[in-house]
Structure 1
Amino acid sequence: MRTLFSGASARAEEQLRDHYSIELIDQKIREADANLRAAKLGLASLIQRERSEERQVEAITGRITELTVRAKAAIAAGRDDMAAQAAQAIADMENELTRRRETVARLEARILQLRQSVETANRRIIDLKQGAVSARAVRREQSIQKRLSRHLGGASAMDEADMLIARVLGQDDPFEQGEILNQIDRELDHRGIGERMSDAGFGPKGRSTAADVLDRLKGK
């Protein structure tokens, strides 16, 4: 029973899908568009973060360059204490610079991956929208064909009309049937024998024939 109920439920679901297929297609496309917009927002956020990290890298690189010049000047002036402080600051900034460059590299890889996914999803949605247009056109054609079939009475009405025509054309000719009946009656009461003997030239002729008329016209 569970198997039967499951089968009936599956068939009902398929029929429902077929009936509302266009609406379901449009809904799925809307959901795909929403997911694509979310992915675009995520991509924009990653790009924004990457740009911020790159600006930080540029700023730190500039400070390291500037502080290196000052440290060299302090060493030249014999101020090793200040040079040591500058060296410590430069080391800290170099460590930070390394971490930020690693972050930028990870962001670049993630952005490239997400950008490819967004482009692929965008192409698929374009294909889906074109497919939806084709599906709606096919559904309209099917609807028109159904209405046309209803107006024409369907194929069964045409078949029935063909059978009626064939039946009328196939009926026996009543005139021919009457002639056959008269001939049968003449044979039954022996009237036909005299007519056939008359036509053969035995005894007087009971009726005029085309041969008689031609003989008379020729003066025989």
Structure 2
Amino acid sequence: MLNVLKTLFLGASARAEEQLTDHFAIDLIEQKIRESENALSLAKTTLAALIIRQRNEQTTLTRLDTQVADLEDRARQALGAGREDLAADAASAIADLENERAVRRDTLAQLANRVARTQQAVEKAHRRIIDLRQGMISARAADAERKAQKSLNRSIGSNASIREAEELIGRVLNGPDPFVESEVLDEIDAGLSGTDIRDHLGQAGFGAKTKVDASDVLKRIKASSTTA
């Protein structure tokens, strides 16, 4: 029983976390981009420090090369002058400089390797952050579209409401014409009162016509024209 309740609780918590993540997705993306930019800034600072150290080591190594070359030249001059003691002192100093130079060369090689790896990491992170920013633009547009659709759904209601409104509009537009309906009602009333029968009999010559028609008007005009 406890295991079942624990599983249900974990499932509910996972769903709640997913819903919360979806709701604040844009804010979370922005925060992750800021964290990535901060990390990139620290990496750039580290790279700058390594490059400065690399340059200092190179400067020191160049100075050691110059010192060794100068002492070797002076030692040769001392030997040429018969001052082997001075040449020996120069040789001892040269040995120390060469040992230091070897260490400096190893350090410089290690620094060059670290600079290359750090620079590659910085460039990779920079490209990924650019991609994140582009993705952020797309995510914002998609989120705005989703929110607009939800707002639209809340404004116009469900699809059932839309269909009902469309059906009501159709009923109004396709309803009976009131003028035609009025004419039909007049015909019905005439039939009920017998007026239409009297009209038919009058038109057939049985009794006086109940209405003047075009033939009557034409006969009157012809008669007046003949008299004139």
Q: TM-score, normalised by structure 2?
A: 0.70
Q: 1:32 aligns with which of 12, 23, 36?
A: 36
The reply to whether residue 158 of structure 1 matches residue 158 of structure 2 is no
Q: 2:146 aligns with which of 134, 138, 142?
A: 142
The CA distance in 2 between the partners of 1:42 and 1:138, in whole Å, is 37
The CA distance in 2 between the partners of 1:133 and 1:143, in whole Å, is 15
The alignment yields a C-alpha RMSD, in angstroms, of 4.0
The reply to whether residue 11 of structure 1 matches residue 1 of structure 2 is no
Deviations 1:119-144 (A, max 9, x none): 01001101101111111122122222
The CA distance in 1 between the partners of 2:37 and 2:75, in whole Å, is 56
Match of 2:81 in 1: 77
Give the gaps of 5 or more residues in structure 2.
176-228
Q: How does 1:101-140 map to 2 (within 5 A)?
A: 101-140=105-144
Q: Give the fraction of aligned pairs with identical amino acids, expressed as a percent.
A: 50
Give the gaps of 5 or more residues in structure 1.
172-220
Q: Secondary structure at the match of 1:78?
A: coil
Q: Secondary structure at the match of 2:82?
A: coil
Give the counterpart letter for 2:111 in structure 1. Answer: L
Q: 1:96 aligns with which of 85, 90, 100?
A: 100
Give the counterpart letter for 2:44 in structure 1. Answer: K
The CA distance in 2 between the partners of 1:42 and 1:165, in whole Å, is 71
The CA distance in 1 between the partners of 2:135 and 2:55, in whole Å, is 38
Pairs aligned (count): 217
The CA distance in 2 between the partners of 1:108 and 1:22, in whole Å, is 40
Question: Deviation of residue 154 (structure 1)?
Answer: 3.6
Give the counterpart letter for 2:109 in structure 1. Answer: A
